[in-house]
Amino acid sequence: MALVAYLQEYEEVDKAKVAKRGGRYSMKRFIVISTIILCGLGLLAILLEAEQRLKATREQKFVFRYKINEPMVYSMGMKMRIDMQDEVNNKTTTTTELRYQFKLTPLRASEDEITTMRLEPLDLEGYFDIFSPVGHIALFFRGSEIKGTVNGVPIIDTEKGIGVAEAEEFKKKILPFHLNGEIDIDSKGYVKGLRGDSPFVEFWKEVVDQHKSLFSIVFPDRAIAIGDTWTETITRKKLGEIELVGKELRCTVTFTRLPDITTQRKRLAVFSLSASCSAEGLTGLMEHEGEIIRVHISHLDLTTSGTIHFDKDKGILIDETMKEIAVMNISMQNQVTKMSLSTESTINLINN
C-alpha cells in the first residue's frame, strides 16, 4: 500500500513537471518508476522463496529408519486399574503395575524397506493388588522371583519353596515377556511379520492388532505439515482381562502433528492420538475367582489419548505416553456388573 501511495504521489508531482515541459515525460521519471518496480518484484521473489523454504520445513514425510546392528533399548511402564461393582454393591478393585525393558536390534533390511528386528527382554517386574469381598490378594514378581499373599498369609514364595505349583502356573502367563523373537517392521511403522516361539508370536500379535505397530503410531505415505491429521482403524480383541469372542471392537484413531519441540539440542516432532468408540452386544471370556467365565457386554464406551515424540532426523521413536478409559456394563454369572478400566502406559528410549 505504501508503494502504491508513493507512486500516486510521484505521478501527481511528475504531471505538473510534464505540463511545464509541454507534455514531455522526463527520463528521470522512467528510471525511478522502473527501479521501484524492479525492487518490488525482487522483494516479492525473496518472500515467495522464503515461504517455500518455510513450507518445506513445516511439511515432511516421516519414516522409521534403523541402523543395522545398532541396538535400541526401551523401557515400558504400564499401570492399570479395574473397578467392578455388582447389583448388591459388592466391589472388586484390581491394580496392576508392570515395568519391562527390552532391546531392539536391527538385523537386516530388505529392498522394500522392511527391517527385521530382534527383540530381547532385559528386565521385568510388576505386582497385582486385588481387593474384593473375600479379602486382599497381593502378588509381586521380578525375574524368576515370585511372592504372593492372601490376607497377609504367604501362598507363593519361590525363594522359600512355597506354592511351587501356583508359581509355575503364573510363570506361564508372563512367559512371553521372557522370550526372544523377530519382528518385521516397514518404514511407516507397520508390523509385517513375527517369528519365534508360539507364546512370543501370540502375545505380540495381540499388541500389534491393537496398534498395527510395535509402538502406537504409523505414518501415512505423504508429507505431514503441522496441524495435519490422518486416521487408522484398529480392531480390539481384548479389553483388560476380557478376551472378546465373535464380534470385535473397531475404533478409528486420529493422529495429529503438533508443533515441534527442542530438547537437549534435539528437534523432535510431536504427535497426538485420540480415539473414542462405543459398542453394544459384545461377548467375551475372562478369569474370575480361578474360573473362565463368559461375559456379555451390553454397552461399552472407550476413549484413548496419547502423545508421541519422534526424532525426525534419526527416524526413531523417543517416547510415548498413553491413557485409556473404558466403561462397560457386563453380565456374568446371572449378575449385572458395572466395570471401569483405566490404563496409563509409557515407552521411553533409554540409550539415546
Those residues whose C-beta lies under 8 Å from the C-beta of residue 66, and which sit 6 or more positions away, are: 72, 106, 109, 115, 117, 315, 316
> Which of 150, 153, 105 minimizes the C-alpha distance to 128?
150
- pLDDT per position as a tens digit, 15-62: 555 445 554 445 555 565 666 666 666 666 555 554 444 444 568 999
pLDDT the model gives residue 44? 61
Distinct helix (H) and strand (E) counts, the chain: 4, 16
pLDDT the model gives residue 45? 54
3-state DSSP assignment of residue 296: strand
- How many Å apart are CA 110 and CA 195, to the nearest integer? 16
Residues of the chain with pLDDT under 50: 1-7, 10, 13, 18-19, 23-25, 50-56
Q: What are the grid coordinates assigned to 90, written together?
A: 459388592
3-state DSSP assignment of residue 346: strand
How is residue 101 annotated by DSSP?
A: E
Q: What are the grid coordinates assigned to 206, written together?
A: 495381540
Those residues whose C-beta lies under 8 Å from the C-beta of residue 182, and which sit 6 or more positions away, are: 107, 116, 117, 118, 119, 193, 194, 195, 196
- The C-alpha angle with vertex 97 and arms to 91 and 98, in degrees rounded to 5, equals 145
pLDDT the model gives residue 50? 46
CATH 1.10.287 fits 72-349, yes or no: no
pLDDT the model gives residue 6? 45
Name the residue ranges covered by the structural domains of the chain: 2-58, 72-349
- pLDDT per position as a tens digit, 176-223: 999 999 999 999 999 999 999 999 999 999 888 877 898 999 999 999
